Amino acid sequence: MADESIRMVLIGPPGAGKGTQAPNLVEKFGAGHLSTGDMLRSQVAKGTPLGVEAKKIMDQGGLVSDEIMVSMIKDELANNPACKNGFILDGFPRTIPQAEKLDQMLAERGTPLQRAVELQVEDELLVARITGRLVHPASGRSYHKLFNPPKVEMTDDVTGEPLVQRSDDNAEALMKRLNSYHQQTEPIVDFYKKNGIWSGVDASQPPATVWESILNALGKK
C-alpha cells in the first residue's frame, strides 16, 4: 500500500462535522468513504443478497444486524476500487460488539485499522449548530442563523428562494440523538484507546483548523 493510504474510523456526534471532513479525507488519500447509510442504500438499490435481506428488516422497522453491516463493509472493501488506497468508516461501528466484529473481519483480510479519530464537541454547541441550520432545498446550499447567515433573512443568496429548517434539526430531536450517541458510541472511544489507535480532535474550531488537527492526529502533515 502507498504511504498515503489510510484505514480509519471517524467518530463524532451529529453535527460534529463528519460530513464536512470525510470528503477532505477522501480527496487527500483517494480512499473509499464507507458511510453506513450510503452503503445500505446502495446495496438495497442494487438488489444484492445483502441488500434484499437488509430491506426486509428495514421494511419491518427493524435494525439491520451487525453481521449484515460487517458483510457489507467487507463487500465494499473487496469490490470498491476506491478502497485500494484504504477506507474511512463513518457511522460504524456504533457499539463495542460492532467494533469487535469489524476488527475480526479486518484482521482476517490483513487490513487492520490504523486510526480512530473522534471529533469532540460540547452538546450545547452542537445544539446551537444544528438548530440554527437552514437549507435551500433545491441546491442543498446550507446556511446558519448564527455562524453563516444568508444576506437576507431566511432567503437563499443565489436564487432569492425561501430557506427551510429540516424537521429533525430541532433541539428535542437532537437531544435524543445525542443521548443515544453518548450511551452507545462513547464506549467505543475507550475500546480504541485501549488498542492505542484513538485520537481526539477539538471539532468546535473552524473547519480548516479541524482539518489541520485531523492531519496531525493521523501523522500525515
Active site residues: 18, 94, 133, 166, 177
91 is in an annotated binding site: yes
62 is in an annotated binding site: yes
Residues 6+ apart with CB under 8 A from 65: 57
Phi-psi sector, 164: left (phi>0), alpha (psi -120 to 50), beta: beta
Positions of E strands within 113-161:
115-120, 133-135, 142-144
52 is in an annotated binding site: no
Q: Is 88 within 8 Å of 10 (Cβ atoms)?
A: yes
150 is in an annotated binding site: no
142 is in an annotated binding site: yes
β pairing state of 142-144 and 133-135: antiparallel
Say if residue 150 is preceded by a cis peptide, omega within 30 of 0: no
205 is in an annotated binding site: yes
Residue 27 in grid coordinates: 480527496
Q: Is 124 within 8 Å of 175 (Cβ atoms)?
A: no
17 is in an annotated binding site: yes
141 is in an annotated binding site: no
**CA torsion 143→37→184→118, rounded to 10°?**
-60
29 is in an annotated binding site: no
47 is in an annotated binding site: no
**What's the rounded Cα separation, in Å, for the pair 48 and 113?**
26
7 is in an annotated binding site: no
Report the binding-site residues for ATP: 15-20, 133, 142-143, 205
Report the binding-site residues: 15-20, 36, 41, 62-64, 91-94, 98, 133, 142-143, 166, 177, 205
Report the binding-site residues for AMP: 36, 41, 62-64, 91-94, 98, 166, 177
